Amino acid sequence: MPGGRRGPSRQQLSRSALPSLQTLVGGGLSNGTGPRSRSSNSVGLSAPPLTTLITPEPVRHSRIPELPLDSTLLFEFLLFLYLLVALFVQYINIYRTVWWYPHSHPAASTSLNFYLMDYHLAIFITVMLARRLVWTIVSEASQTSPSSLVQYMLLIVARLSLLTLCGWVLCWTLVNLFKTHSVLNLLFLGYPFGVYVPLCCFHQEGRTQPAKTDCGFSEQDGTDSSLLRPKDFLALLRENLREQFSSPTHVPAHTCPPSPELIRSEVEELKSDFNRRIKEVLFNSLFSAYYVAFLPLCFVQNTQYYDMRWSCEHLIMVWINAFVMLMSQLLPPSYCDLLHRSAAHLGRWQRLEHGSYSNAPQHVWSESTIWPQGVLVRHSRCLYKAVGPYNVALPSDVSHARFYFLFHKPLRILNLLIGIESSVVLYQLYSLLRSERWNHTLSLGLILFCNYYVLFKLLRDRIVLGKAYSFPLSGNSLGLKSQ
């Protein structure tokens, strides 16, 4: 009315009003009614801090029971026994004979051509396969505390005698192999170590390095760096060999860190430890398959006939079985649950295309903020959407997204191992039904007997953990401290 008091206009109300709770999480804004600034492409940058308006729900962790795990010594013994069986099977596939023929034919009276075998090579392979078992025995004996000086001296003498015996046997077999084989064949004996040094010694993760300045120059970039390089290489080589012979014993703990910086630091530590375990699994599985199934083929005489397809198939099966056995031992359920808990705190960001969610409020990503699910942030000129209920990951870091993808479901790795081992067992059963040769039936029967034990343990863990993770979470499992 004329002369009356005017109220605030609609435009002024829209600029002064605060965004609602539903607006901040990015929901219900498809009609374009949310606040938008004309001077900037991003929307809602002037909104109050998100942590003052929305508090993400606390992360809850499931409690899993303590599942029985083979001791290190028992596992190494079982792995060594399996590799010996696989080596024996490979020798059967190579040196089998038609011993059931009548003696009038030029056939052998034994099932294998023992005179064609190189016993020095077989002993060398056996010692190489037993390296982890021997080192485990020495390590277990070193951890025991002797009660008297006599027991301490006997312990030292026993360790030195065992290591000396293994070294003497290796030298004796190498000398005899040098006398009877060419240099080209002998190069195959140490090929895995030649591959391991450049691949694993020069790529080290999680090592503390000196912080670099803005100009990229540090105090160690002078003339002293050339003097330190040989020492650093030898130190890396010793450390990798030590990790090769012994499984990792130190397991990082999960304490439900309260700050985003501590969460990301814990994730980096777990990621480095996981990569180190995967590196050990890959190398030892390939090492076992190489010495068990491939190296005997390199020393076969030219006149000896063997089934190449069946031998190569045996090589693949040995590698897969050794891979699954090492994965189940080095990545036990308790360790996978630890990775799952850390991934639940980390969260993940989904990158969005330009122009999408243009009417939704967008915030600048901050490393000290815990972002709830569904919120939109801008980082490095890109738009990201929070996927997890608890998000502190770096949006542009691919390793964080990969870590969350692998471990946000706690049974993903276990299901993968069960799928691999079940496929191998089913294929071997199918091959056993179609086998017509005695060596195929014998080799499949022996390998299947070993695979049943591995598959049984995986299925047992899957049934127990499936029920544990499906149990509804209660308020007592909020996870302020890892169980």
User: Residue 42's pLDDT is what?
Assistant: 42
Q: Considering the domain boundaries, does residue 281 fall inside one?
A: yes
Establish if 14 belongs to a structural domain. Answer: no
Structural domain includes residue 468: yes
Distance from the first to the final alpha carbon of the chain: 70
pLDDT the model gives residue 192 = 78
* Residue percentage of the chain with pLDDT more than 90: 27
pLDDT band at residue 155, thresholds of 50, 70 and 90? confident
For the chain, the domain total comes to 1
Query: How many other CB atoms are there within 10 angstroms of residue 426's CB atom?
Result: 10
Q: Is the pLDDT of residue 212 over 70?
A: no
Task: Please indicate, yes or no, if residue 482 is contained in any of the structural domains.
Answer: no
Of 20 and 49, the one with more pLDDT:
49
Distances from the Cα of 480 to the Cαs of 263, 345, 362, 385, in angstroms? Answer: 13, 12, 31, 27
In degrees and rounded to multiples of 5, residue 350 shows phi and psi of -105, 125
Q: Is residue 362 part of a domain?
A: no
pLDDT (0 to 100) of residue 361:
80
Distance of alpha carbon 280 from alpha carbon 270, whole angstroms: 15
Task: Label residues 316-325 b or e (16+ Cβ within 10 Å = b).
Answer: ebbbbbbbbb
User: Is 290 a domain residue?
Assistant: yes
The answer, yes or no, to whether residue 203 has pLDDT greater than 50, is: no
Residue 147 predicted with pLDDT over 80:
no
Closest CA to 332 of 242, 260, 397, 247: 247
- Report yes or no on 387 lying in a domain: no
Confidence (pLDDT) at 286: 92
**How confident is the model at residue 44, as a pLDDT?**
42
The label of the residue with tokens 């020069």 reads 202
Q: Mean pLDDT score of the chain, rounded to an integer?
A: 76
The token pair that represents 56 in the structure block: 């993400």
Q: Which carries the bigger pLDDT value, residue 12 or residue 249?
A: 249
- Rounded to 5 degrees, what are φ and ψ at 377? -135, 160
Instruction: Kindly state the percentage of the chain with pLDDT values over 70.
Output: 70
* Mean predicted confidence (pLDDT) in 106-134: 83
The pair phi, psi for residue 215, each rounded to 5°, is -85, -5
Mean pLDDT of 276-299: 91
pLDDT at 328: 93
Could you write out the three-class secondary structure of the chain?
Answer: CCCCCCCCCHHHHHHHCCCCHHHHCCCCCCCCCCCCCCCCCCCCCCCCCHHHCCCCCCCCCCCCCCCCCCCHHHHHHHHHHHHHHHHHHHHHHHHECCCCCCCCCCCCCCCECHHHCCHHHHHHHHHHHCHHHHHHHHHHHHHCCCCCHHHHHHHHHHHHHHHHHHHHHHHHHHHHHHHHCCHHHHHHHHHHHHHHHHHHHCCCCCCCCCCCCCCCCCHHHCCHHHHHHHHHHHHHHHHHHHHHHCCCCCCCCCCCCCCHHHHHHHHHHHHHHHHHHHHHHHHHHHHHHHHHHHHHHHCCCCCCCCCHHHHHHHHHHHHHHHHHHHHHHHCCHHHHHHHHHHHHHHCCEEEECCCCCCCCCCEECCCCCCECCCCEEEECCEEEEECCCCECCCCCCHHHHHHHHHHCCCCHHHHHHHHHHHHHHHHHHHHHHHCCCHHHHHHHHHHHHHHHHHHHHHHHHHHHHHHHHHCCCCHHHCCCCCC
Under the banding of pLDDT at 50, 70 and 90, the label for residue 447 is: very high
The pLDDT score that the predictor gives to residue 152 is 76
pLDDT (0 to 100) of residue 291: 94
pLDDT for res 117: 85
Predicted local confidence at residue 242, as pLDDT: 60
CB atoms within 10 A of CB 35: 18
User: pLDDT digit string (tens) for 319-374?
Assistant: 999 999 999 999 999 999 999 998 988 888 888 887 677 677 888 888 888 888 88
Give the pLDDT mean for 75-97: 91
The pLDDT-based confidence of 43 (bands split at 50, 70, 90) is very low
- Considering the domain boundaries, does residue 11 fall inside one? no
pTM: predicted TM-score of the whole model, two decimal places: 0.76
Q: Quote the domain boundaries for residue 195.
A: 72-205+251-331+411-477
**167 vs 164: CA distance, rounded Å:** 5
Q: How confident is the model at residue 247 (pLDDT cuts 50, 70, 90)?
A: very low
